[in-house]
Structure 1
Amino acid sequence: QERLYALLYLQACVRDTQGDIETSVENLRSLIRELPDEGNPLIHVARCHLAWIQATRDSATPEQIAEARKIAEGALSRTEFTLWIGYLTKSAVLVAEKDFEDAARQVAKASDLAPQQFKEICTNQLKAIQDRKASMTREFPISPSVSPATIITR
């Protein structure tokens, strides 16, 4: 089924590049109707492609342009929401790999994209990275593997 959807999208793209805009629009609308899952990334791609065609036509009406803007903003809000989580997750992986500098950069990217209500999560993650880095790089005068009994008896 996914291959069929991908094929329908590619067909719409080919029609668009060949200048057969009407068929491309029909194919995109058909694909949007057929796609079952709102969370499917292809539906956002198809909607954006359709919006692009509608907005960039010389004959675009103000209504078509307004609809294209609504589609684009909807797609952006959905992708930005998932993108920030991806960057935040990548930062956790980088901390596990002890790459604290890149982890902090990933959190900064996440913070830039995160909706306002989730910015605090990014701030907390950055603080946790800094704390973890500090604890990993602190120089201990005595190795933690030395037992306290050994130190006392010396």
Structure 2
Amino acid sequence: MSAPASNPTIVVAAVALVRDGAVLTVRKQGTARFMLVGGKLEPGESARDAAIRETLEEVGLRLREVQLLGEYESAAANEPDHRLVSTVFLAEADGEPTAAAEIAEVRWTPLDPAGLDDLAPMLEHNVLPELRRLASAPPAQQP
């Protein structure tokens, strides 16, 4: 049996909730890496709707001010030899997140996570640099 021509792709939607110089991250049960809140889209569901649903299911927060941050591709954190395509939204939410569903732990991860070695590749290499860029940009350049 020959290997597939390309790595399988996982398509997800995720949410970046930023407060006080940190972004909300979660670690799923049985995994070691922290990532954004989010997950796979259900059939017929838009990325935005999936991000809103997953945030409520995983950390009990209702989102407001949901806007597109970007679409990113990286290695998947927990599935070896898989690629991850993630549509990421920047949003706001009131209240404090609480781990629910498959989430084992929630953490506010600094936008400049010096010394942390437990971040998902998409978060570390794509989203955090973009969030740092936005945090340092003049207000007129922010989405």
TM-score with structure 1 setting the length: 0.23
Larger Cα Rg: Structure 1 or Structure 2?
1
Comparing both structures, which one devotes a greater share of its residues to helix?
Answer: 1
TM-score with structure 2 setting the length: 0.25
Higher relative contact order (CA 8 A, sep 6+): 2
